[in-house]
Amino acid sequence: MTIKSFRGRIDNAGIDTIVLHTNTGSTGYAIKKFEALSYYPQGTSPESVIKIYSVPQAAATDTIDFNDQTLLAALFYEGNSNNYYTTQTVTIFDNAKFNQDIYVTCTSTDGKMNYYIELEAFPISDLQATQLTLANIKTIKS
């Protein structure tokens, strides 16, 4: 088991692409950790929604719909400038496996958020790679 980590800063209404695809698709991934931290941690009361999807998104939204089968993880972040505390609620669908790019979206009252993602990377067979790739294509077209 190999862990790959990604970190970045994303603006309000931003969408980042994390490039994972390969020519053969022989590496599978699963999300193991998902965290966020405000870009402006003191003196503000941010509320942010950061989500990870398996397909490209037209726009970042602040709604979280667990019926959406392309949603891989969701995070709600809230800060309080009066007491200097933050809370975050994270849901990771750890049974979701993928071998293609993933997409991070953000809506934030603070304007910018930092995120950190850890993915477990594992080898997959040619048949599994084909199945994951076809499932991804099917989801994009539907």
Domain spans, the chain:
2-141
Which numeric CATH code is attached to 2-141? 2.60.120
Question: What contacts 140, CB < 8 A, 6 or more positions away?
Answer: 55, 56
30-68 pLDDT, tens digit each: 999 999 988 887 767 789 999 999 999 999 999 999 999
Give the mean pLDDT of the chain.
89
Per-residue pLDDT at 142 exceeds 60: no
Q: Quick one: pLDDT at residue 22?
A: 86
In the chain, what percentage of residues exceed pLDDT 90?
61
Read off the pLDDT band of 80 (50, 70, 90): confident
- End-to-end alpha-carbon separation of the chain, Å? 33
Read off the pLDDT band of 136 (50, 70, 90): low
- CB atoms inside a 10 Å sphere around CB 125: 10
